[in-house]
Each structure stands twice: as structure tokens, then as C-alpha cells.
Amino acid sequence: MFAVIGNPNAASLTYYGLHSLQHRGQEGSGISVMNDDGEINTIKGEGLLTDVFTNPAMLVDLPGAYSIGHIRYPSNGEKGYDNVQPLLMKMSDEKFAIAYNGNITNTAELRRELERQGSVFHASGDAEILVHLIRRKEGSFLERLKASLLELEGAFNYFILHDSGVYAVRDSKGIRPLCIGKLSDGGYVFASETCALGIVGATYIRDVLPGEIVYIEDGRVMSTFFTEERMHAICLMEYVYFARPDSDLEERNVHSFRKQSGIELCKETHVDADMVIGVPDSSISAANGYAEAAGLPNEMGLIKNRYVGRTFIRPTQALREQGVRMKLAPIPSVVKGKRVIVIDDSIVRGTTSRRIVQMLREAGAKEIHMRVSSPPIMYPCFYGVDTSRREDLLAHQLDTEEMRRHIKADSLAFLSREGTVRALQRSESLGPNCGVCMACFTGEYPTDILKREQ
């Protein structure tokens, strides 16, 4: 998500900001801008940002200084145009554009109750729930927003573009990342990751805090909290896989964390071999760390076709397998006759590792040792990452030796939970060491509701 507050080029800045966040989702893209007359115009559609904004002139159709933008990773709700964000809600007396990242865990109950009270839902995702809750409250917009947020459980970042201003919200555990930047030529931005700041000429101010609502009043950044019960539990998978290596989340650099995970992985699981190979792109940093610690060459044994998106996000197993085949290819002259240590950041369903081992064998590798720079994922995520079915998780079904046989590697080892915690403590961090959610590795969820759902 990316938003601009108080800059006349809001639409194009949002476009560039979203462009550097494209790795976070590929199913849909959209930008809503409020013009000087308070009208909200939106352009959105299914697919990548460049599929939707096929011509830069389209941004001219979005005049105004306040904008919110979104790219969609579908973890909940149906696919299709209706769920592409920002969602627009026009009531007789109020207008909203709303964008959202995360997953509300009590959607079913809330929706049932709201429908009973007469609310009509247009889409099936979670974005709309908040608008319906706000509509049923009394008081100023901020009071209604606060009261509504208290009813939500789970992980949520919201941007709301409303007649009264722009609001950025982070849930009380800070599960998904969100930061604030200041534009050099006036105004502010909000972004899911700091990697989106530089491209628009914004400098990092700080992260939005758990439970915080940030809004702009009279050109000043204002802040309030919607709850007293707050803690830091940012998603560990953001560091492991999701975020771009040049992003700092809670002031901790993602590349630095991954490299440190590779160093810890080497210390814990090293095996004699000729070279280290990282699975591009997300495991390159961990492979750097591993190779450096092992004193082995860090080779490019696999290359990635840049024009294939993130395969995991594809909705069916057949599409995912085809995606991995299209995405990765071995370099036979590098691996032929060699004992290789392959570093990947995670195993979820096992599709990628199995296919990589097969490709490297076909390319002539003598031994293939798979090393994973995070612990086994054994529990589902209810917070917006598409690993919500426990039965899909390979490590839920099989122990490490059975997984090794399944992916057909010569050996397989994971970084321990303790090793991950050490990597967090030792990676480059400008701020205090904030707490993380590690629920998919440990089963200890940071919100209560999930204890019920497990």
C-alpha cells in the first residue's frame, strides 16, 4: 500500500511508490485520488500495475493532492475485479475510498451481524467491513473510526480516504509493516515498505506504531491510538521472504537479517560441499551469509526468468508447478559434477524445493544439500499470508527426513527457531529490537481469536 498526503502530484507519486511494492502482490492494482472539490476518482483493475496503468497519461485523469494506492495479494476473499482495491463506497452523505492489507479473523461474525442489521456488501474481502462498522457509529469521523477498529481482530493496515482527510491505521500488534515518509517538495507518504520512499524522493520519518491512527490535520501529522493494548509482533515472514532486501522494517534491514540467517544456518547445519547456491531472488542474501561463513564460493547455479512473477501466489497447485518451471533454470556448466548446498528461504508446500532438486540433478550436480534459512512452517497463518490451510504445509505432514525424501535431496536441514532469533538480534538495526510474530513456526499466535480457530 502507498498513500500521498498533500502533494499536487499525488497520483504519479503513488504510481511510483506502488511500482516498488509490486513484489507484495500481483492480482490487482489501483489508485484513488481526491481532488480539490472533494471528489474521489479511481483507476483500478486486475493484474500488475503496468497492466492497469498502460499509459502514463492515465494519471492525468487523477488530479488532486490526496491519494491512496493498493496492489492486491489475495489471502482472503474472492478473486476478481470486485475485490480489487481501493474500494469505493458512496453513501448519500459520505464518501470513502479504502485500501487494506492483512486479514481480519472475525470477519464471518462481523459480517453476519452487519448483514442482520441491513448492511449490503459488494465484495467479499475485508476492506468493506470497516466502512460498514464506521457507518453504524456516532460522533466525529475519528471517534467512529476508533470505535470500529476496536471490533476488528487479526492483522490489518488500512488507508482511508474520506471527506474529512486521509487516515493510516496499523493493528494493535503491528503485524504488517507500515511507515511514514516526508516528501522533499511538500507533503507526506505512507508505505508498506521503506523501499518505496526513495523513488518518490521521500525520507523516512518513522514506522506507524501498533494500534496507531496517523492522519494529517492543517498540514501537520497527527497521531492517536485506538487501543491501550498494544505490542510489537511484526510478521517474521516479512523478513524471511516478503519484503524487499533494501527495505528496513521496524528499522531493521531485511538483507542484513537474511544474511545473518545464512550465517546462523551455516553454523548449525554445515555439510562438506564444493559451492553454495542461493535460490533467486529472495534467498540471495542468505546464500551470501552462508557462503561467507563456510568459506565456500557463492555460485550462480540457478537463474531466474525476470518476467515470471511470484509463483507461490498462484491459486492452484498445477499453476504453481508450471510457474516454478518457467521461473527457475539451472546453469549446467556451474553445477555439473559438483556437491552443491542450495539455500532457500522457506519450504511451504515443497513445490519449489522438489523442482529445484530435480533440475539440479538433471543438470549433473553430484550431491544436493538443501538448507533452509528459516524453521519449518508447521502452523497456518491467519494474518494475510496465503498459508492458511494446515494440511497444505509440508512440515505439518512430514518430519525432516520424510521431507528430504519427498524433495529427493541428499540432505535437508532448517535453521532452528533459536538461530532465527539470533539472526534478528544480530542483524543491522537502527531501532530497538521489536518483537515478531513467529506463529507459523511455533504455533504461538499473538492474537486471542486464533486460539479458538486452530
Annotated binding site for [4Fe-4S] cluster: 235, 381, 437, 440
By the rule CB under 6 A, 281 interacts with ligand AMP: no
Which pairs count as long-range contacts for 355-362, CB under 8 Å and 24+ apart, including other chains? 355/321, 355/324, 355/325, 355/328, 356/279, 356/302, 356/324, 356/328, 357/407, 357/408, 357/409, 358/408, 359/302, 359/328, 359/329, 359/330, 360/277, 360/301, 360/302, 360/330, 360/335, 361/408, 362/330
By the rule CB under 6 A, 393 interacts with ligand SF4: no
* Phi (first) and psi of residue 444, to 5 degrees: -100, 100
- Which partner, ligand AMP, ligand SF4, none, binds residue 386 by CB below 5 to 8 Å per kind? ligand AMP
- Which partner, ligand AMP, ligand SF4, none, binds residue 348 by CB below 5 to 8 Å per kind? ligand AMP
Burial class (CB in 10 A: 0-12, 13-18, 19+), 69: buried
By the rule CB under 6 A, 12 interacts with ligand AMP: no
By the rule CB under 6 A, 254 interacts with ligand SF4: no
Q: Which residue's CB is nearer to ligand AMP, number 259 or number 349?
A: 349
Sorted by sequence, the CB contacts under 8 Å of residue 138 that are 6+ apart come out as 144
By the rule CB under 6 A, 348 interacts with ligand SF4: no
By the rule CB under 6 A, 439 interacts with ligand SF4: yes
* Phi (first) and psi of residue 110, to 5 degrees: -60, -45
Among 254, 328, 347, 370, interactor with ligand AMP by CB under 6 A? 347
Chain Cα centroid distance, residue 207: 15
What is the grid cell recorded at 48? Answer: 500488475
Separation between Cα atoms, residue 170 and residue 263, nearest integer Å: 32
Q: Which residue's CB is nearer to ligand SF4, number 257 or number 383?
A: 383
- Which partner, ligand AMP, ligand SF4, none, binds residue 335 by CB below 5 to 8 Å per kind? none
Nearest one of 43, 127, 141, 46 to 89, comparing CA atoms: 127
CB of 15 to ligand AMP, least distance (A): 24
Q: Which residue's CB is nearer to ligand SF4, number 302 or number 381?
A: 381
Among 385, 407, 412, 423, interactor with ligand SF4 by CB under 6 A? 385
Within residues 179-238, the interface with ligand SF4 by CB under 6 A covers 235-237
Within residues 316-345, the interface with ligand AMP by CB under 6 A covers 344-345
Q: Which residue has the cell 516479512?
A: 238
Separation between Cα atoms, residue 338 and residue 297, nearest integer Å: 12
By the rule CB under 6 A, 395 interacts with ligand SF4: no
Chain positions contacting ligand SF4, by CB under 6 A: 175, 235-237, 381, 383, 385, 437-440
Give the interface with ligand AMP as residue ranges (CB under 6 A): 241, 279, 282, 310, 312-313, 344-353, 385-387
